[in-house]
Structure 1
Amino acid sequence: MGTSRNVERRTILKAAGATAATLGLAATTACGGDGSTSSDGTVTIRYAWWGAEDRAQRINKTIALFEKKYPKIKVKTDFQPYVDFWKKFNTQASGGNPPDVFQNAIGFLRKYDAKNVLLDLSEQVKAGNLSMDGFRAGLEKFGEIDGKLLGVPVGSNSMALVIDKHVYTRAGVKPEQGWTWDDFDAAMKKIRDKTGRAGDSGMYGVMYLYDLYLRQNGKAFFTEEGLGFTEADLTDWWTKAKKGIQEGVFADAKKVAQVKPKSAVSAELAASEFTWDNFTVRYTSEGKSEYGLAPIPTTDGKKTGQYLGSLMLSGSKRTQHPKEVAQFIDFMVHDPEVAKIMGYDRGVPATQAQYDAFKPTDEVNKAIAAYEESLVKAGVLQPITPHPNGADICESAFLRIAEELALGTRSVADAVKQFFTESKTALVV
């Protein structure tokens, strides 16, 4: 796996919604389509995704397998970097010409469903063209919104704490399942005092981590209608963030910004940071140390609030070939040979058949698989928090405003007020 893709993967968490948030999408209707059928009955469907060149090479190999199995279905492909993908998709959808099938993410399901863009795949399941059996850890429910199947998972990931093993060892810190936030705070100070390095890169701009913290405390970042927490809640969270930077247990935000796109951990500014488990490969590729995955801290020593997230495949409501789209998705999520080609490029394979088909040989991917297995074994996984229409805009605002707070250009009170102001606008139905 190349560095370019792994850098891009990290930016997905931080950039989600950054550009799409500013783009208006005109409503489309379920008519017409952009696929084609030749005189001999051969159907052509368009498939689009975001990613780098190495992902494209892998996907093209899987498409060759699909076309061999389904010689009457041809697949025309298109891929872009993450932000460019959503720019182009928005333009296509606004013009009534989105790709027949495309890569998608949870933050965009309600957004594009509200714009009448997404195909409800449940009818294709009933018709036998798409199977939702054999998914791991409840992932078959991941793309269900309001009784509609709007996306099918291709892989899974979960939030984790990526650590520099050598620094943690020198500090005598050994995180274990069930450690608390108090334990985490003590560990950050111990790392600072014994190694001279900040314990963490600064975690308070990561919306998905804050969601886990809220879930541990009986709340959530989102409800189906909007935000699931108060200004007082966020004030507490961001007050701790500012204090952590001032005390040196979190990395200097200005230095973190200077080393981007390199991570603060691999740049040796911090000993750890919270991110998605399948991003781990990038640290090994750009850093000099040995990196590992540690559990999410808890409030009560038990509940982490975690779930398995996933990239998905969705269909266009305008497609003229819903059957072929469903057959394509079915092949991509179930065929064992696809897993052998894709590996963990889009996360740990979502179906058991593909999970069993690909056994990583490198230590980093072995650790990712072991981490997700440990979550299942520990019984901490729960259903994902619903994401309302406008969630992508909220995520973008959360990241940007938290960074301004970290850099000292906003006070906590001002940052909280600004976030809620922008979110109320974004989440108006």
Structure 2
Amino acid sequence: MVNVHKRRRFMAVVALTAASGMALSACSSGSDTDPSASGSTGGEAQAASGEDVTLDFAFWGNDVRADMYEQSIALFEEEYPNITVNSTFLDYPAFWEKRQTEAAGGGLPDVMQFDYSYLRQYSENGLLLDLGPHLGNEIAVDGLSDQILGIGVVNDVTTGIATSTNAWGMYTNPQLLETAGVAEFAGGTWDDYKAWVAEVTEASGGEIFGGTDYTGRIQNFEVQLRAEGRNLFNEDGTPGFDEARLAEFWESGADMRGDGGSGISQQRLEEPVPGLGLRLRADRLRTHVGQLRRWLPWRAWASPTRSLGLVAPPVTVEGAKDLYLKPSMLHTIAASTEHPAESAMLVDFLVNSPEVGAIFGTNRGLPASTTMQEGITFEGLDAQIRDYEASVADRLGDAPPVPLVGYGTLEEKFRVLGTELGFGTLTVDEAVSQFFSEMDVVLGS
């Protein structure tokens, strides 16, 4: 009999269908739109006054990120001695609670680190400055592709500049694969992926699981829809799929669920792993590639030399542009700022400066600006992230519409329903009905 401690330790999932970008969506502006012209209705940019100016800058993060910003701001103030930057930071929930309060009172900070999921809400409510007049002026665009610039466009107006990008991917555990005696996933269709998962599980005698049910993440559904030429959600807020297509997706993962499935069961995912003080839950490890750093504590559970593999997700339609670059975060300027030009100069510095690139590395994802990338010595994890994005370049298409207001609620509902499907407490038809009911509420239909 296998020792229970050993069994649970090897219960770790080998393949973790990551969501590299999909936390979600980017902008709808296509390559035929000139992002530098977006928001031209804003008129002429107000020139920097040259007088002493104080800017408020807010971001979310921890002490590590705060130190990086402190170093970057010091360099900015050295280059522009007439501009003083007062920075503040909070954890993520508190950051947005404070922004909501400020937005209600018209007192947003001049410059903000911004999350993609809030961009549409704040843009459509007129709270963010039209950056169009500043592009090519205070904000250099030489190092930013049209695809990158398009990410920050809402209703044809540029209101955000991506600091860095992520692309959806799949993490694997090379050490467990070596133990199972199975090679890395070499690519192929979703059926090929399921066969590979089953091979790993079978080769290890059930001590190692090849993967988990990939249908629990809405991002994997989006990858398949994009391959079919559809969006998860359209610009007008309507879904790009019907009940039958969602049912088909969830049904496709049925043979990976439960104790008899090829993947690790939901019950096993919920079991604690002895000695780790955490749970190896595949769904928690599915995230955009640029967020690989946050899983380093996980990979260090056995030895400092442990690493995570990084491969492209399965292919739905050969040659399709099913992936896209999602911003790990953006920088925006409040529409109420009294110093738009100086604020734009700060955004430019934080997005384009090679010196800032040297400070941050890939802490915020792969820098969106090639100019900023010039300041980074790519090695180790930084090189792994850069090389992955380069490897999927032929699958990168235009980003979808900026996330609709309430997207986060739907993403979480999708995850919860996927978990219940894993436990067998819901049928696929029941899950589809619940998700469409939730969409009716969120989308106001």
TM-score by length of 1: 0.83
Aligned-residue identity in percent = 28
Structure 1 portions without partners, runs of 5+: 1-9, 17-39
Partner of 2:395, secondary structure, is coil
1:337 is aligned, of 352, 355, 360, to: 355
Post-superposition Cα deviations, 1:211-252, rounded to whole Å, max 9, x if no partner, equal: 111111222211101211111111122223344122433333
Matched, 1:104 2:120: no
What is aligned with 2:185? 175
Matched, 1:423 2:439: yes
In structure 1, distance between residues paired with 2:289 and 2:276: 15
Partner of 1:45, secondary structure, is strand
Q: CA deviation at 1:263?
A: 11
Post-superposition Cα deviations, 1:372-423, rounded to whole Å, max 9, x if no partner, equal: 12122xx211011113333233223222333333344433222221211222
What is aligned with 1:80? 90
Q: Is the alpha carbon distance of 1:419 and 1:286 closer, same or farther for their aligned partners in structure 2, counting shifts above 3 Å?
A: same
In structure 2, distance between residues paired with 1:329 and 1:48: 12
In structure 2, distance between residues paired with 1:225 and 1:336: 38
Matched, 1:165 2:181: no
Give the counterpart letter for 1:398 in structure 2.
F
Partner of 1:75, secondary structure, is strand
What is aligned with 1:143? 152
Partner of 1:162, secondary structure, is strand
Q: CA deviation at 1:254?
A: 3.7
Check conservation: 2:20, 2:287, Cα contact below 8 A: no
What is aligned with 1:383? 398
In structure 2, distance between residues paired with 1:225 and 1:199: 39
2:372 is aligned, of 349, 354, 362, to: 354
Q: Which moved more, 1:94-103 or 1:182-191?
A: 94-103
Matched, 1:209 2:220: yes
In structure 1, distance between residues paired with 2:79 and 2:269: 48
In structure 1, distance between residues paired with 2:335 and 2:262: 49
Partner of 2:58, secondary structure, is strand
1:120 is aligned, of 126, 130, 149, to: 130
Q: CA deviation at 1:344?
A: 0.3
In structure 1, distance between residues paired with 2:101 and 2:416: 25
The root-mean-square deviation of aligned C-alpha atoms, in Å, is: 3.1
Which residues in structure 2 correspond to 1:12-161 (within 5 Å)? 41-125=51-135, 128-136=137-145, 138-161=147-170
Check conservation: 1:203, 1:274, Cα contact below 8 A: no
In structure 2, distance between residues paired with 1:14 and 1:267: 23
What is aligned with 2:11? none
Give the counterpart letter for 1:368 in structure 2.
I
Check conservation: 1:205, 1:399, Cα contact below 8 A: yes
Q: CA deviation at 1:133?
A: 2.3
2:251 is aligned, of 239, 242, 247, to: 239
2:291 is aligned, of 270, 275, 279, to: 279
Q: CA deviation at 1:304?
A: 5.6
Q: CA deviation at 1:273?
A: 5.9
What is aligned with 2:411? 395
In structure 2, distance between residues paired with 1:354 and 1:143: 18
Check conservation: 2:356, 2:372, Cα contact below 8 A: yes
Partner of 1:357, secondary structure, is coil
Q: Is the alpha carbon distance of 1:365 and 1:64 closer, same or farther for their aligned partners in structure 2, counting shifts above 3 Å?
A: same
Partner of 2:108, secondary structure, is coil
In structure 2, distance between residues paired with 1:298 and 1:13: 16
Partner of 1:154, secondary structure, is strand
Give the counterpart letter for 1:323 in structure 2.
A
Post-superposition Cα deviations, 1:100-129, rounded to whole Å, max 9, x if no partner, equal: 211223322222222221111112226x22
In structure 2, distance between residues paired with 1:12 and 1:78: 28
Q: Is the alpha carbon distance of 1:271 and 1:117 closer, same or farther for their aligned partners in structure 2, counting shifts above 3 Å?
A: closer
Check conservation: 1:241, 1:406, Cα contact below 8 A: no
What is aligned with 1:249? 262
Give the counterpart letter for 2:252 in structure 1.
K
Give the counterpart letter for 1:249 in structure 2.
S
Q: Is the alpha carbon distance of 1:413 and 1:206 closer, same or farther for their aligned partners in structure 2, counting shifts above 3 Å?
A: same
Check conservation: 2:120, 2:405, Cα contact below 8 A: yes
Check conservation: 2:72, 2:356, Cα contact below 8 A: yes
What is aligned with 1:29? none
Give the counterpart letter for 1:61 in structure 2.
Q
In structure 1, distance between residues paired with 2:296 and 2:157: 40
Q: Which moved more, 1:286-295 or 1:319-328?
A: 286-295
In structure 2, distance between residues paired with 1:408 and 1:299: 26
Q: CA deviation at 1:285?
A: 2.7
Give the counterpart letter for 1:230 in structure 2.
D
What is aligned with 2:235? 224
Check conservation: 1:175, 1:295, Cα contact below 8 A: no
In structure 1, distance between residues paired with 2:52 and 2:191: 61
Matched, 1:319 2:337: yes
What is aligned with 1:368? 385
Q: CA deviation at 1:302?
A: 3.2
In structure 2, distance between residues paired with 1:135 and 1:89: 28
Which structure has the larger Rg over C-alpha atoms? 2
Check conservation: 2:20, 2:290, Cα contact below 8 A: no
Post-superposition Cα deviations, 1:130-167, rounded to whole Å, max 9, x if no partner, equal: 12221257212211122211110111111110000123
Give the counterpart letter for 1:373 in structure 2.
A
Post-superposition Cα deviations, 1:340-368, rounded to whole Å, max 9, x if no partner, equal: 0011011011111111220233x222211
Q: Is the alpha carbon distance of 1:65 and 1:258 closer, same or farther for their aligned partners in structure 2, counting shifts above 3 Å?
A: farther
In structure 2, distance between residues paired with 1:136 and 1:166: 37
Select the structure with the greater relative contact order (CA < 8 A; seq sep ≥ 6).
2
What is aligned with 1:24? none
In structure 2, distance between residues paired with 1:293 and 1:78: 34
Structure 2 portions without partners, runs of 5+: 1-17, 25-49
Q: Which moved more, 1:216-225 or 1:322-331?
A: 216-225
